[in-house]
Structure 1
Amino acid sequence: MHAFRQAVEARDHAAIERLLADDVVFTSPVAFKPYPGKAITAAILRAVMRVFEDFTYVREIDDAGGTDHALLFTATVDGKSVNGCDFLHVDADGLIDDFMVMVRPLSAANALSEAMGAQFDQIRLEAADPSVRVF
């Protein structure tokens, strides 16, 4: 099992952040532009954990080289069932340097977009100042 999956399932925010490279790029399923950097990515992931209900990884696919991973999940957002996948790439140090999320169906993606939009002021605060983190 990938260490990121273990950290998420344990809801271990510190372990999740330790697995992110400083130059990680997060690509959201609902935002046009990617988010570069560890601080903003960690803040986004904390918000996702606040927004998703009943989150469960259901399958893990790894490449033979061990650098690319796909973690399929289910969750609920505002009463909408979500199916999604976290696509992770790890660098030579084993840290996540590319993190892309895809979700379906459209109604769930729209619910996720709305819920994350409501979190974004807090995300910006957390990314700028770690002392204001909300778990």
Structure 2
Amino acid sequence: MPFDTEKFAAHLREHAGRHSQSSCAKFVRRALEAAGADTGSHPNYAKHYGPILLRNGFHAISVDNPDGFAFQKGDIVVMNATKKGHQAGHIAGYDGTQWISDFVQRGFWPGPAYAREKPSYVVYRR
């Protein structure tokens, strides 16, 4: 099934806020749909998006150190929950220069709790 990485990145950029709206799964899902992905009956929690990505032709890639990794436009990260406060986990897409979910992130980790705890994650690439 066709997936337009440019449309995905553009949709992320156009709809992102300045701060988290606690809606990363909704925003990334809408960007996926705008790019041609079929999200069907999607999960509510970001941490459960792996199967949808696999079904849409993405595959998991190995990223041992996100700080030194060369991400590509269209990469998507799915993070597990943090121990306190972020039970839904997180999902974000890379637009070629930055990570975006429901807001433009400052880096790979979406916030201080994630940066501190570094929960497990999977990066998906198409």
TM-score, length-scaled by structure 1: 0.29
Higher CA-based Rg: 1
Q: Which has the higher helix share?
A: 1
TM-score, length-scaled by structure 2: 0.30
Q: Which has the higher strand share?
A: 1
Which fold has the larger relative contact order, with Cα–Cα distance below 8 Å and residues 6 or more apart in sequence? 2
